[in-house]
Structure formats: structure tokens, C-alpha cells
Amino acid sequence: MAMTLPELTEFMASFVAERDWKRYHSAKNLSMSIAIEAAELMECFQWSETVDVRALKSDSDRYVHVQEEVADILAYCLSLASTLEFDLERAFLAKMEKNRVRYPPEACVGKEFRKA
């Protein structure tokens, strides 16, 4: 079942509403939850110098765990955007446009690039 970003946002909002969790979904709590889930994702790769995608995919339990952690992060991002009443798709596209201008290909291709 494929969904668009607005459909995913609505799906998540319904999931939260059905469980009466909206009262817990403050910007503070959701932003902390995003950080916690990101830390859980980092644990999946802790102590690994590099991660070969083929090797990761061959370890089905670990691969599913990584997918679940990324999905948890997305769920909290969708909820945060909903709580703060902004269009996540529009915000993402606007930010990517800024990144496109800030990091032009001619200056960045093949470079580890960080601009202050």
C-alpha cells in the first residue's frame, strides 16, 4: 500500500487520535522522541567501521531492525509537522532548494563538504 506524504501524515494523525495520544504530542516530546529514535538507529551501526549494504541485507533481522528505526523516526517527524501545523512536503522541498543553492554540484561533487 503506497501512500503520498500527505496521506502518511493523515494516517499517522489518525493513529495518534485513535489512541488519544495527542495530549502527549507536544513539540518538545516529539523532538525528543526523534532524537531517541535516531540514537536507536545509530546503535544499529555502532562499532561498525563501514556497513556493506549487501551484508546488511543478508542479515534479515538486523536489516528489518534498521528499517523499523527509520520508520519510527519518520512517524515522529510526521507527528511533529502535524502538531506544529506545517506542510512537511513543502518544508522539505524548500530546504532542499536552499541546499541546492548552498551546495552547487560544481563545488561539491565527490567532496566531503561542510559549509559553516
CA pseudo-torsion sign 75, 21, 84, 86: positive
pLDDT for the residue numbered 51: 79
Domains defined along the chain, listed by start = 5-86 (1.10.287.1080)
The answer to whether 88 touches 75, Cβ cutoff 8 Å, is no
pLDDT for the residue numbered 113: 59
DSSP state of 46: T
What is the full per-residue pLDDT of the chain (116 aa) written as tens digits? 899 999 999 999 999 999 999 999 999 999 999 999 999 999 999 888 787 899 889 989 999 999 999 999 999 999 999 999 999 999 999 999 999 999 998 888 877 756 55
pLDDT for the residue numbered 116: 54
